[in-house]
Structure 1
Amino acid sequence: MARAAPPPPPPPSAPIDVNLRDALEERYLAYALSTIMGRALPDARDGLKPVHRRILYGMHILRLDPGTAFKKCAKIVGDVMGSFHPHGDQAIYEALVRLAQDFSSRYPLVEGQGNFGNIDGDNAAAYRYTEARMTDVARLLMEGVDEDSVDWRDNYSGDTKEPIVMPSAVPNLLANGAQGIAVGMATSVPPHNIAELCDAALYLIGHPGADAEALTQFVRGPDFPTGGIVTDDHASIVETYRTGRGGFRLRARWEKEDLGRGGWAAVVTEIPYGVQKSRLIEQIANLLNDKKLPHLADVRDESTEDVRIVLEPRSRTVEPATLMESLFRLTELETRISVNMNVLVDGVTPRVVSLGEALQQWLDHRRAVLVRRSRHRLAAIDRRLELLAGMIVVFLNLDEVIRIVREEDDPKEALKARFGLTDTQAVYVLDTRLRSLRRLEEMQLRKEQTELTAEKASIESLLESDRKQWQMIAVQIRDLKKTFGPETKLGRRRTSFAAAPEVVVADLAEALVEREPLTVVVSEKGWIRALKGQVADLSSLAFKGDDGLGISFFAETTSKILALTSDGKVFTLDASKLPGGRGQGEPIRLMADLDESAAIVAVWPHAPGTKRLIVASDANGFLVAEDELLSSTRKGRAVLNVSGAAKAALIVPAAGDHVAVIGQNRKLLVFPIAQLSEMARGKGTRLQRYKDGDISDAKVFAIADGLTWRDSAGRTFTVAMPELQEWIGNRAEAGRLPPKGFPKSNKFEG
């Protein structure tokens, strides 16, 4: 009987002053540890969280083994909550349901009867309507749990015991994967194929410390219950398994279905893991209504037990790969499965492990279980051999034993004195019915004694040899592989591997948007619009209030428009989505998430493969490739780091071999562009030194062509290379006054 918990200490007679910060830190740390250890992170040895372990042990107590009758989930949930997991019936039932869903668990641990939800995202029926029992995989996880194979602890009420970890004859952590969010950390382990894990474990036994490159010869990658295609290359998969962090790009499986007379449709038969089918179809339908899928005419869900999503093209001439590539980029037909193998190592320490470390944790646990079960069996054999020795003595002296039992006042002590029996042997003889004593056969007793003695010697030999222990584990793993081999229905690999098409079309944006010329107009206050065609005369354009023309340039509907703000961020706009030229446009602030204090510095069309010079007001700057400036979100990309009063001042094309810089102090400096560094993000280096004031303008040019500028009247002036010698110096120098005729605005485009 469990010992009652001691009563809580009485409250202090007087208040105790406690520092609020210390109290909060102590309580938050306690909460974080309880979440990490008792809820969110799985144990690396059996791959289970406490709620899953308690559900399985509760079903074990109820004898819900494979092949037995189902029991109501309400009974299971009630027993688990009442004895082991006092965290609410819905939390327990949701965990139980997930263990039974074949689209959530690669190897379900629970066999359900009734409505356990579906891949469309529909919830399971209430637990009073559903029934469950364990699967063969769950039975293997718990094999030997009653044979002193694992440690136990008191349950929350102290009236019974629960296992700290399961014996786990299956590498469940990697086989079924795990997801969880703790305090300050999370875990995401994808599911894998058991047969491949067995091969890798056998290799690891023979080659301790094998690296990820060697193990991926056996574990090719994850194996999701819903199938799909992993498109990552081998090198990235190896790196993910080596570090325990990364991700996999998973695509839906589809095929082209010929409809006759030149017609066709794309049929999706497998969708990515974790994606709800109904939500996916709704997403495609919304994009179709918003005219963001110009190649798609219709989407239909013809699924029954298997997934079947039919995608009809708008035209027979559309390439199937082009249609699917647009859907992969815009919908959840392609997802990224993150990997963060953060687990409880040895059930205690949260740590990110590699593939090899995860397998080694399971192998070491299997060895510990083997040793403990062997010792448990050895103790049982010793007890039985002791009893058999006593029974053989009884058989040889049966009449005398019967006489002692009948006539002696204390038969137990008499038996011990007459035949030299131990206390245990004497009690066993007295507890045995007379009818059973008369049926004893010496041959049977001797045979059992011989067999147990041989088994005892074998176990003792096993416990004394590490090599024999690993050989026994290897035999168990080979048997496991036979049970879940690739030829079995459950063990057959479902997820395949294929490289994504490198280039389906030259530019998918061009395939989705009709290419037409545009004239982009940006006002002085940051309002933007796009006029159809290339309009040179913009004098008739109207602007709001005291606003006026700021920047204009030619582009196309497929162009990307880049905008630099004063806080050093660059935002990307689609030219095809800009407001038309009939109105006065819209503020760029509505199209991107600009900070309130940030101002528009420059707007220009993206030119792939080119470079730009970006400079802050304090004359710090660097070269950056235009392709590095692109971003796919409204938040833009932070490029130039500015601090204090400095702000992003200008960004100009970097086509040439020299840089001309002029400051507000009207000093001009020319230096080789090779003295500047090229970066994707940073503060850069100083272009020109000032005693006071900031930079006014900068220009990159070819020294052989001379330095040119344009005045306010539109006239162009050029200073040839020989005449520029007195301004040519090194980066970060002060410079000299510019040549005569240079614009008073201190701008090269005066």
Structure 2
Amino acid sequence: MGTDLAGHIEDTRFAEALSERYIAYAMSTIMSRSLPDVRDGLKPVHRRLLYAMQQLRLDPSSGFKKCARVVGDVIGKFHPHGDASVYDALVRLAQDFAVRYPLVEGQGNFGSVDGDGAAAMRYTESRLTEVAWTLLDGLADDAVDFRATYDNEDHEPIVLPGTFPNLLANGAAGIAVGMATSIPPHNAAEVCQAAKYLIEKPDAEIAELVALMPGPDFPTGGILVEDQDAIVRAYETGRGSFRTRARWSVEQGRFGTWTIVVTEIPYQVQKSRLIEQIAEQMDQRKLPLLGDVRDESTTDIRLVLEPKNKTVDPDILMETLFRNTALENRFSLNMNVLGGDRVPAVLSLKQVLRAWLDHVHEVLVRRSNHRLAAVMRRLEILEGFLAVYLNLDEVIRIIREEDEPKSSLMATFSLTDIQAEAVLNMRLRSLRRLEEMEIRRERDKLDDERRSLETLLGSEKRRWTRIGRDLDATIKKFGAGPLGDRRTTISEPPEVIDLSVALEVDREPLTVLLSREGWIRAMKGHNLDPAGHRFKEGDDAGLSVECQTTDRLCLVASGGKAFTLKAADLPRGRGFGQPVRTLVDIPQEDKTIALFMVREDGRRVIASAQGRGMVVADATMVAEKRTGKQVFNIKPGETVFACLDAVGTHVLTLGDNKRALIFPMDQLPEMTRGAGVALQKLGEFTLRDIRIFTMADGLVWQEGQRARSASDLSVWEARRGALGKAAPQWMLRKG
């Protein structure tokens, strides 16, 4: 007990000590820094900011206070972290281009959409907005629990009680340890409508909720061009992404000239960086239809894009910009939040709305109970006042003459302790007949309120009806006008435009080389001498394709994804080229299985190492995104083994079990995406080889060998999915 521990050293395993401390750090990051609470949509720093500003009485109708004062109170009383991080959080809450419904009203320089930072906190001032005041409403009514601050000198709310759907309305973003969150902002009125529908129909499908809140509503506007099914699927799983495009229009000039004016850009895209990106793309000749870009923005965004000439199609010009610049952007959805039990989880839209509604219901019950207790206390006092008003002379006598006036009053008039205390504290000016009438009116009014509160607390249906009315009030207050009107337009996904013809790329023969280590380059001409190709040290030849500059190439990875490359965009010359992973987002663990030219009528056979396969049309494998398209669904531990041109009548598969099988090609189904069907029964073995050939022409196993005829191969013919028969030696030799 009293042992001095100074200088005490305790041996422990380094791995155990490190893991124990890292877990503590990770939990602190997850719980107290990066993930928002599903109930109020706030992280601790934002909640403490709002609470500190309420304590400073910075309500929407009051004057402003210096941000330095606010930040000082926050870090001194509630949030012992750096002032810069707290001020950055405050600034973001005030930026109308960063949050859909600002919680702080700023005065001074709070940054711009160009990426400019805010002025120092000693120069800027702030106060709460109506939205923030709504979130804080009820703190004084025992609506939520409080906890001690870090120094045990004060208390702070664990969560805010307000009935504003802040999590979905303002969104959230954060990176914790091992998990992250990314929630786009939505229209508050639409969220409240969906919440009302969920109250009326608790078993509602997510598609029904999406009909009421059709997608994100970004502060910077733009156009949402995501597929409706993808939106519903994202809200069902809590994970997905939303594709947004800039809003633009054509302005006609003199003599048939025209320009494109961009008035809204995607969310979280810095305007200055966007212009730099467009200029870089022009320098690299990736925007051949664009002549010039100008920034004519003032308080509103106005980017002017001039075409090379007036014969250019505006839609084609914008399509080149959407594909090459941040004028088209994706915002990811990952609804990873802390639930009411403080456990992080990825929730669906319905679960998020349900959790928020349950919080609103709990707040209503707690506020009603708090108000009922206050009404009962006041009624008790008023009954005491009325009891003594008929005998004021006796009350005065007792107070003047008795040594213990309180106990005498309680005995004489049958008063409770609280009533007697209230009578003793009564002012002399209240001893009027008029005051008695006012007390009776107040008592009757409070008695009506008591009955109303008891009825509300006794009926869950009435409580949900009341919450519905509160949601209607929120819709009326924040659902119209410049703040409430929807800014992001919901649109159908655009049709895919083939730019190779529109851009009039010169048709030239190319040979595309992809090395074993993943370096890709395009060389002029066909039938090139392989000995003339140089590779980096330790690298060697891999795949090669002869094509034209107007062609598109498809790359298939072992993870089952297909990626599209434009031959004209590939690096030229006799150097080593560049890593293909800089052109498309191939997962690090995946290998390149095939590289081929996309043909309009082309078909490919894709097979996994575990002996499943299918036929896929070239056209369905084309992916417009860098992230590619999942074509073959692999199971854990599986990989894609081969992707072959589906030209032939029969398929030959050879397993590591040294069994071969030949079956007709028409037994393989054609799919746009799937896990395929069994090619050969392999059990625990994997594919060793797969060939596609025309039976009438026979099978040439190795170059220089004779073609094996149909009669030679008939012994291995069977239905697809069979076990196969022992392979001959000529099949087992390496080709």
Q: TM-score, normalised by structure 2?
A: 0.85
**CA positional deviation for 1:401:** 2.5
State the SS of the aligned residue for 1:278: helix
Letter matched to residue 181 of structure 1:
I
Letter matched to residue 494 of structure 1:
R
8 Å Cα contact 2:372/2:453 also seen in 1: yes
**CA positional deviation for 1:701:** 3.0
8 Å Cα contact 1:517/1:554 also seen in 2: no
8 Å Cα contact 2:36/2:172 also seen in 1: yes
State the SS of the aligned residue for 1:312: strand
Residue 654 of structure 1 corresponds to: 646
8 Å Cα contact 2:296/2:304 also seen in 1: yes
Q: How does 1:1-400 map to 2 (within 5 A)?
A: 11=5, 15-400=9-394
State the SS of the aligned residue for 1:55: helix
Residue 502 of structure 2 corresponds to: 511
CA deviation vs aligned residue, 1:208-229 (integer Å, no higher than 9, x gap): 1212122122112111111111
8 Å Cα contact 1:43/1:347 also seen in 2: no
Letter matched to residue 485 of structure 2:
R
State the SS of the aligned residue for 1:490: helix
Q: Does 1:701 align with 2:693?
A: yes
Letter matched to residue 586 of structure 1:
G
CA deviation vs aligned residue, 1:478-526 (integer Å, no higher than 9, x gap): 111111233x2211111111113213x3x22443461313142769999
- Match among 582, 603, 607 for residue 599 of structure 2: 607
CA deviation vs aligned residue, 1:77-125 (integer Å, no higher than 9, x gap): 1111111111121111111111111111111111111111111111111
**CA positional deviation for 1:356:** 1.7
**CA positional deviation for 1:44:** 1.1
Q: Distance in 1 between matches of 2:589 and 2:465?
A: 69
Q: Distance in 2 between matches of 1:361 and 1:721?
A: 67
Q: Distance in 2 between matches of 1:566 and 1:170?
A: 47
Letter matched to residue 509 of structure 2:
L
8 Å Cα contact 1:563/1:571 also seen in 2: yes
Q: How does 1:711-750 map to 2 (within 5 A)?
A: 732-735=724-727
State the SS of the aligned residue for 2:38: coil
Unaligned 5+ segments in structure 1 are 1-6
Q: Distance in 1 between matches of 2:714 and 2:220?
A: 70
**CA positional deviation for 1:411:** 2.9
Q: Distance in 1 between matches of 2:661 and 2:250?
A: 63
**CA positional deviation for 1:50:** 1.0
Q: Does 1:502 align with 2:495?
A: yes
Range with greater deviation from structure 2 (379-388 or 586-595): 586-595
**CA positional deviation for 1:249:** 1.0
8 Å Cα contact 2:554/2:595 also seen in 1: yes
Residue 472 of structure 2 corresponds to: 478
- Match among 583, 587, 598 for residue 576 of structure 2: 587
Letter matched to residue 66 of structure 2:
K
Q: Distance in 2 between matches of 1:521 and 1:465?
A: 73
8 Å Cα contact 1:293/1:512 also seen in 2: no
Q: Given the superposition, is the C-alpha separation of residues 261 and 392 from structure 1 closer, same or farther in structure 2, using an over 3 Å criterion? A: same
Q: Distance in 2 between matches of 1:403 and 1:669?
A: 115
Unaligned 5+ segments in structure 2 are none
8 Å Cα contact 1:65/1:133 also seen in 2: yes
Q: Distance in 2 between matches of 1:681 and 1:182?
A: 34
Range with greater deviation from structure 2 (86-95 or 621-630): 621-630
State the SS of the aligned residue for 1:441: helix
**CA positional deviation for 1:589:** 6.4
Q: Distance in 2 between matches of 1:371 and 1:391?
A: 30
Range with greater deviation from structure 2 (518-527 or 428-437): 518-527
CA deviation vs aligned residue, 1:712-748 (integer Å, no higher than 9, x gap): 7xxx98776567657867885455587xxx9xx997x
- Match among 481, 486, 490 for residue 493 of structure 1: 486
Residue 399 of structure 2 corresponds to: 405
CA deviation vs aligned residue, 1:10-62 (integer Å, no higher than 9, x gap): 74986444344443333332222222211111111111111111111101111
8 Å Cα contact 2:520/2:579 also seen in 1: no
Q: Given the superposition, is the C-alpha separation of residues 340 and 414 from structure 1 closer, same or farther in structure 2, using an over 3 Å criterion? A: same
Q: Given the superposition, is the C-alpha separation of residues 623 and 481 from structure 1 closer, same or farther in structure 2, using an over 3 Å criterion? A: closer
Q: Distance in 1 between matches of 2:470 and 2:541?
A: 79
Letter matched to residue 381 of structure 1:
V
Q: Given the superposition, is the C-alpha separation of residues 595 and 403 from structure 1 closer, same or farther in structure 2, using an over 3 Å criterion? A: closer
Q: Distance in 2 between matches of 1:469 and 1:568?
A: 52
**CA positional deviation for 1:637:** 10
**CA positional deviation for 1:405:** 2.8
Letter matched to residue 694 of structure 2:
A
8 Å Cα contact 2:557/2:590 also seen in 1: yes
Range with greater deviation from structure 2 (439-448 or 677-686): 677-686
Residue 557 of structure 1 corresponds to: 549
Q: How does 1:428-577 map to 2 (within 5 A)?
A: 428-438=422-432, 441-486=435-480, 488-503=481-496, 505=497, 507-512=498-503, 514-520=505-511, 554-561=546-553, 574-577=566-569
Letter matched to residue 452 of structure 2:
S
8 Å Cα contact 1:113/1:130 also seen in 2: yes
Q: Distance in 2 between matches of 1:667 and 1:393?
A: 104
Q: Distance in 2 between matches of 1:169 and 1:138?
A: 10
Q: Given the superposition, is the C-alpha separation of residues 301 and 391 from structure 1 closer, same or farther in structure 2, using an over 3 Å criterion? A: same
Q: Does 1:417 align with 2:411?
A: yes
Q: Distance in 2 between matches of 1:524 and 1:207?
A: 58
CA deviation vs aligned residue, 1:289-310 (integer Å, no higher than 9, x gap): 1110001111111111111111
- Overall identity of the aligned pairs, in %: 49
**CA positional deviation for 1:475:** 1.6
**CA positional deviation for 1:134:** 0.6
Q: Distance in 1 between matches of 2:661 and 2:475?
A: 74
**CA positional deviation for 1:241:** 1.6
Q: Distance in 2 between matches of 1:65 and 1:596?
A: 52
Letter matched to residue 494 of structure 2:
P
State the SS of the aligned residue for 2:451: helix
Q: TM-score, normalised by structure 1?
A: 0.83
CA deviation vs aligned residue, 1:409-434 (integer Å, no higher than 9, x gap): 33333333333333322222222332
Letter matched to residue 575 of structure 2:
E
Q: Distance in 2 between matches of 1:170 and 1:513?
A: 53
8 Å Cα contact 2:614/2:676 also seen in 1: no
